[in-house]
Amino acid sequence: MKIVDEIRLLTRGRDWRGRARTPRSAEPWRLPTEPREFPTRWARTPLARAAREGIRRGLLKPVTWSQTRPVVEGVEYLDTLQGPAIFIANHASHLDAPLILGSLPARYARTLAVGAAADYFFDARWRAVASALVFNAFPIERHGSRRMRSLAPTLLDKGWSLLLFPEGTRSQDGWMHTFRMGAAQLACSRGVPVVPIALRGTYSAMPRGRNWPRPGRPTVVVRYGRPLHPAEGEGTRAFNERLVTAVSRLWAEEEMGWYRSLRAEADGTLKLPTGPSGSSWRRIWEATRPLAEDQSDRIWP
């Protein structure tokens, strides 16, 4: 019986150990199949929207606010904002999206879709379902390894606002990096305003590698800026530079105050907050410096 089994293995193109006798290099090449894109339309149905509103108000915001000490500034700039808009922010922590969703006025929080990395938030079905339900997330391909049609223009056309992180990924050391041009291109092509947001302290509160904020309710700052509109004839690159400058100025308000940050922007001395030069430990140490809890004197320092 054993001899018969060995003969069958050999006739199937395998040796006595069951291994293929044909080397892989000799096998015919096949076009790799593209992974199926996770559908998110169901997350924008009335039932899913009602569930998300309950999760946001009853779970997401209470938990985030109980584990951190958020300071929210500049929400009044959104009072005159009409129609869909693109919200952009620097990105250093998984706290960023919950803080923005929890601090936005309800009329925008209810109609906000969050752009999320396809290779992280949509690589496993359970995480894709949770991201779509809780954050109304839709996949964004950030590495160009897959053919994926972006849902962002379609969502804007249907009246949804977007939350995008133009850096493309969370900061490795807490400092800001250059912006990709996707958000600026969307705004210029669709003629929608962009609201800049600066997030401070989120890296210190919950950096990469942590699944829960640090103990002690660390202070985090969410600072909104005035909506920016693409000027007539303004190119994507020029508008993107304006967005970088706007977020950089909001970032600088933490140390310089509102007036001095405006002066620095006007005289051209405002720089991208890329952090100190030197070794990575020093950059991380500077990024995790606690923020001041009292923000009352930040307008006229």
Measured CA angle at 247 (ends 276, 296), to 5 deg: 90
103: CATH: 3.40.1130
- 20 located within any domain: no
**pLDDT tens, 36-47?**
778 899 999 999
The pLDDT assigned to 142 comes to 72
Determine, yes or no, domain membership for 97: yes
Report pLDDT for 37.
76
The Cα 31–Cα 29 span in angstroms is 7
What is the tens place of the pLDDT at every residue in 135-182?
999 999 876 545 446 899 999 999 999 999 999 999 999 999 999 999
Taking only the tens place, the pLDDT of each residue in 193-221 is: 999 999 999 999 999 888 899 999 999 99
Quick one: tokens of 212? 């829960």
Please check the confidence at residue 16 and state whether its pLDDT lies above 60. no
134 in a structural domain: yes
In a domain? residue 192: yes
- Domain presence at residue 36: no
User: How many domains, in total, are found in the chain?
Assistant: 1
Query: pLDDT tens across 252-289, in order?
Result: 998 888 888 888 888 888 888 888 887 888 888 888 88
Q: What pLDDT does residue 24 have?
A: 60
**Spatial distance between the Cα atoms of 259 and 209, rounded to a whole number of angstroms:** 36
Identify the pLDDT of residue 301. 43
* Distance of alpha carbon 181 from alpha carbon 169, whole angstroms: 14
Residue 1, domain member (yes or no): no
Asked, for residue 12, whether it belongs to a domain, the answer is no
- Structure tokens that stand for 231 in this block: 């000027």
In whole angstroms, what separates CA 284 from the centre of its chain?
20
- What burial class does residue 124 get, using C-beta atoms within 10 Å of its C-beta: 0-12 exposed, 13-18 middle, 19+ buried? exposed
Residue range 106-130, pLDDT digits in tens: 999 999 999 999 888 988 889 999 9
Rounded to the nearest 10°, the torsion over CA 128, 153, 87, 103 is -50
pLDDT at position 263, please? 87
Average pLDDT of the chain, as a whole number? 87
pTM of structure: 0.84
Domain that holds residue 203: 41-287
For the CA atoms of the chain, what is the radius of gyration? Answer: 24
Question: By the 8 A CB rule, do 98 and 64 touch?
Answer: yes
- When comparing pLDDT for 24 and 216, which is higher? 216
The answer to whether position 135 is within a domain reads: yes
CB contact set of 136 (below 8 Å; sequence gap of 6+): 40, 43, 44, 49, 52, 112, 113, 114
Exposed/middle/buried for 147, CB within 10 Å: 0-12, 13-18, 19+? Answer: exposed
